[in-house]
Amino acid sequence: MIIKNGKVLLFKNDDVVIEEKDVLIQEGKITKIEDQIKADGEEIIDATDKIVMPGLINTHTHIAMCLFRGTFEGCDLFTWLHKKIWPIEDKLTKEQIYDASIFSMIEMIATGTTCFNDQYFMPEETRKAAEKMGMRAVLTRPLMDTDGSDLNVRIQEFRDFYESRDENNDLITYSVAPHGLYTCSGNCLKKARDLAVEYNLPIHVHFLESIDEINSIKELHGEEASKVLKKYFDGIHTILAHGVKLNDQDIEVLKTMDCGIAHNPVSNLRLGCKIADVTKYKKAGITVALGTDGAGSGNNLDMFESLRTACLMQGGIYEDADRITSRDVIKMATIEGAKLLGLEDRIGSLEEGKDADIILVDISSKLDHISMLPNHDIISNLVYNTSGRDVDTTIVKGKILMKNRKFEQVDVNEAIKKVNQINII
Ligand SMILES: [Zn+2]
């Protein structure tokens, strides 16, 4: 396959640049990025008036939570989880999780996400859906025990899930996910660590998302959150979802660990968790990537909304220009996301030798794009004036998952109908 005549987004000397190039894809990999590649029988994708860029990487989500979209506005995190979400989740069926997973993957593919890091129960259903849709995913069976659930049963469910993996499918990778330091006892965190070591997997944990968490972690573990984190996960690659409430001491601890932050700006605002100072975290050398969180709190899975919100909301805490820019957030949604998930040798940038996870974003001059015209700065417009609806084509490992906004592997109308009929609220 050759993607011809596009404006290709590349990372060069720490900058984000756009160059007019062709991209050759062979056996799922990018093998050449050059001016005018001559076709020799390959399938041609015409990318005239389109940005050709790495697929977006959603580093923290719970995709089946599209079933909660638009509900329970105005709750704080703890009320939302304990009183609203968890009692309903207890009643969800396998079929509902499968249908919700297919539905959310359609939303992600249609808005330019090619890889997501999920944390939800009955993950076999999400995995089945990812295999059908052709998406790249990091999956797990989350662990927690302060809610009275039997930890040994949860761990066995994780083992059964992981051990039943298809080793030939390298699009699906795995994490060990203690839900949060406030929902897992010391014993649960230790067992999560042991599993991560045994299977050589990263940890994926909610960390300092809300103000209430600070005290509840202290009460449960007798120590501050970052000390608890270091005690159990030092030396293990750790994906921290949120990190809104980090103080300077926490940042110092995180700097000594192999970890990074999945920043979920829209979800944080929706749940009244305030603003993570990701400008400061980045300056301290901590990896910061982007996510949407589940659609129950993040509203949708459109990473372009996260890009724009992440960038804009730093202006809510910084009055000077010394804060993250549109170029930074594009990296956060691509190469930094790949780093956070431990996949940077395979995805996250358009480079020869990497897997072809690519999206085409339509920037043609027409009424639908009037808000991005005149297009003086393509990168800035991509962040401030683009939405997932502008994504035209989505490719994962060289396979087209959506072309000209059409899907072949799934009946979109049927998938929408199924989820519209699920009434759990
Ligand atoms: Zn979450």
Rounded to the nearest angstrom, the distance between the alpha carbon of 143 and the centre of ligand 1 is 13
Query: How much distance in Å is there from the Cα of 19 to the middle of ligand 1?
Result: 36
Q: Quote the ligand 1 centre to 394 CA distance (angstroms).
A: 25
Domain ranges of the chain: 2-54+350-402, 56-340
Q: How many angstroms separate the CA atoms of 368 and 297, rounded? A: 28
The number of C-alpha atoms within 13 Å of 301 and in the hemisphere containing its C-beta is 33
Residue with tokens 């110092």: 252
Instruction: Say whether 407 sits in a helix, a strand or coil.
Output: coil
CA of 296 to the centre of ligand 1 (A): 10
Distance 86 CA to ligand 1 centre (A): 13
HSE-CB of 199 using CA atoms within 13 angstroms: 22
CA of 83 to the centre of ligand 1 (A): 16
**62 CB contacts (<8 Å, ≥6 apart)?**
118, 119, 120, 293, 294, 296
Q: Rounded to whole angstroms, what are the CA distances from 240 to 86, 120, 156, 173?
A: 21, 16, 24, 17
> Looking at residue 425, what is its pLDDT?
84
CA of 137 to the centre of ligand 1 (A): 16
**Ligand 1 midpoint to CA 226 (Å):** 18
Residue 312 CA, ligand 1 centroid: distance in Å = 22
Three-state DSSP class for residue 203: strand
Comparing CA positions, the residue from 173, 216, 186 lying closest to residue 338 is: 173
The rounded Å distance from CA 61 to ligand 1 centre is: 6
131 CA → ligand 1 middle, Å? 23
Which of 106, 58, 92 lies closest to 290 in space, CA to CA?
58
CA of 213 to the centre of ligand 1 (A): 14
Rounded CA-CA distance 230/128 in Å is 34
CB 192 within 8 A of CB 199: no
HSE-CB of 99 using CA atoms within 13 angstroms: 17
Q: What angle do helix axes 248-255 and 225-233 make, rounded to 10 degrees?
A: 10
Q: Residue 62 C-alpha to ligand 1 middle, in angstroms?
A: 6
Bridge partners (DSSP) of residue 23 are 3, 33
Residue 288 alpha carbon to ligand 1 centre in Å: 16
Question: Among 364, 372, 365, which residue's Cα sits nearest to residue 404?
Answer: 364
CA of 42 to the centre of ligand 1 (A): 42
Q: Give 3-state DSSP helix, strand, coil % of the chain, rounded to 5.
A: 40, 25, 35
> How many angstroms separate the alpha carbon of residue 294 from the centre of ligand 1?
6
Walk along the chain (425 residues) and give the pLDDT tens digit of each residue. Answer: 999 999 999 999 999 999 999 999 999 999 999 999 998 999 999 999 999 999 999 999 999 999 999 899 988 889 999 999 999 999 999 999 999 999 999 999 999 999 999 999 999 999 999 999 999 999 999 999 999 989 999 999 999 999 999 999 999 999 999 999 999 999 999 999 999 999 999 999 999 999 999 999 999 999 999 999 999 999 999 999 999 999 999 999 999 999 999 999 999 999 999 999 999 999 999 999 999 999 999 999 999 999 999 999 999 999 998 999 999 999 999 999 999 999 999 999 999 999 999 999 999 999 999 999 999 999 999 999 999 999 999 999 999 999 999 999 999 999 999 999 998 88
Identify the pLDDT of residue 68.
Answer: 94
What Cα–Cα distance (Å) separates residue 16 from each residue in 20, 278, 350? 14, 19, 11
Say how many Å lie between the CA of residue 201 and the centre of ligand 1: 19
Cβ neighbours of residue 193 closer than 8 Å, sequence gap 6 or more: 203, 232, 233, 236
With a CB cutoff of 8 Å and minimum separation 6, the contacts of 308 are: 383, 384
Report CA(77)–ligand 1 centroid distance (Å). 10
Q: Report how far ligand 1's centroid is from the alpha carbon of 238 (Å).
A: 15
What is the architecture, at CATH level 2, of domain 2-54+350-402?
Roll (2.30)
49 CA to centre of ligand 1 in angstroms: 36
- What CATH class has 56-340? alpha beta
Ligand 1: centre distance to CA 373 (Å): 36
- 404 vs 105: CA distance, rounded Å: 17
Residue 210 to residues 78, 215, 278, 397, Cα–Cα distance (Å): 9, 10, 15, 37
Q: Output the six-digit token pair for 394.
A: 């989505």
Compute, in angstroms, the gap from residue 425 CA to the centroid of ligand 1: 19
CA 105/CA 93 separation, integer angstroms:
18
- Rounded to the nearest angstrom, the distance between the alpha carbon of 289 and the centre of ligand 1 is 14
| 345/347 Cα distance (integer angstroms) | 6
Residue indicated by tokens 């990701």 = 278
> How far is residue 185's CA from residue 304's CA, in Å, rounded to a whole number?
36
Give the environment of ion ligand 1: residues with CB less than 5 A: 293
Exposure string (b/e) for 344-378, b if CB count within 10 Å is 16 or more?
A: bebbbbbeeebbbbbbbbbbeeeeebeebeeeeeb
- Tell me the CA–centroid distance for residue 28 and ligand 1, in Å: 31
- Residue 266 contacts residue 244 (beta carbons within 8 Å): no
Cα–Cα dist 347/136, whole Å:
10
Q: What is the C-alpha separation between 126 and 192, in angstroms, rounded?
A: 21
